[in-house]
């Protein structure tokens, strides 16, 4: 709904209709708009998480820039494949610029995700610290926004862009 209608379309009643459940069901499970938003970002997190198999397969790999690039390509692949979820996240970010209650829920979730990324990277012995990982977040968000909307350079390869980012930004 967020991807297709934008954040203004997100109401308890619209969720009832989209999920084909009786009117009032969504309000029953998520009492407030804040609770609905929290349920939403939690579910987005689940849908975008790497699979157990994805993680296991990489556990034995050498922790260097190629493995880091491999993780980034995998993240981008998941976000591009789950196009509506990624667009929904962008919708929520813009809604956060308008509504402090959305900024509170989304901001807390995003900062926790960012801290977890930094911790994962350190635990896995991968290159790049907090500063570099922040740069990757910005660049990958911008790359996805470009590729999923109106690309500035449609004939260029997404993988080449990722490789160039890894080559340049990973110290």
Please give the residue ranges that form the binding site for its own copies (CB under 8 A).
3-9, 87, 90-91, 93-98, 103, 106-107, 110-111, 113-114, 130-132, 134-135, 137-143, 145-146, 148-153, 156, 160-161, 164-165, 168-169, 171
Rounded to 10°, the helix 83-98/65-81 angle is 90
Rounded to a whole number of angstroms, the minimum distance from the CB of residue 100 to its own copies is 10
In terms of C-beta density within 10 A (0-12 exposed, 13-18 middle, 19 or more buried), how is residue 140 classed?
middle
Rounded to a whole number of angstroms, the minimum distance from the CB of residue 26 to its own copies is 20
Nearer to its own copies, 26 or 86 (CB): 86
Rounded to a whole number of angstroms, the minimum distance from the CB of residue 102 to its own copies is 8
Nearer to its own copies, 12 or 147 (CB): 147
Nearer to its own copies, 22 or 100 (CB): 100
Angle at 161 between CA 86 and CA 165, to 5 degrees: 95
Rounded to 10°, the helix 130-148/83-98 angle is 110
Residues 80 and 159 sit within 8 Å (Cβ to Cβ): no
Nearer to its own copies, 25 or 110 (CB): 110
Identify the DSSP state of 60.
T
């Amino acid at each position: 709904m967020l991807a297709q209608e934008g954040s203004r379309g997100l109401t308890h009643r619209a969720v009832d209709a989209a999920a084909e459940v009786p009117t009032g069901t969504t309000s029953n499970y998520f009492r407030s708009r804040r609770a609905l938003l929290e349920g939403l970002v939690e579910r987005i997190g689940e849908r975008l998480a790497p699979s157990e198999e994805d993680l296991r397969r990489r556990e034995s790999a050498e922790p260097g820039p190629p493995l880091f690039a491999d993780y980034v390509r995998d993240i981008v692949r998941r976000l591009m494949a789950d196009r509506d979820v990624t667009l929904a996240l962008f919708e929520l970010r813009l809604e956060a610029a308008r509504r402090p209650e959305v900024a509170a829920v989304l901001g807390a979730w995003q900062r926790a995700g960012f801290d977890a990324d930094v911790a994962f990277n350190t635990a896995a012995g991968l290159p790049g610290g907090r500063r570099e990982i922040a740069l990757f977040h910005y660049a990958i968000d911008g790359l996805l926004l470009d590729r999923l909307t109106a690309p500035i350079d449609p004939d260029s390869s997404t993988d080449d862009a990722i490789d160039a980012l890894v080559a340049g930004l990973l110290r």
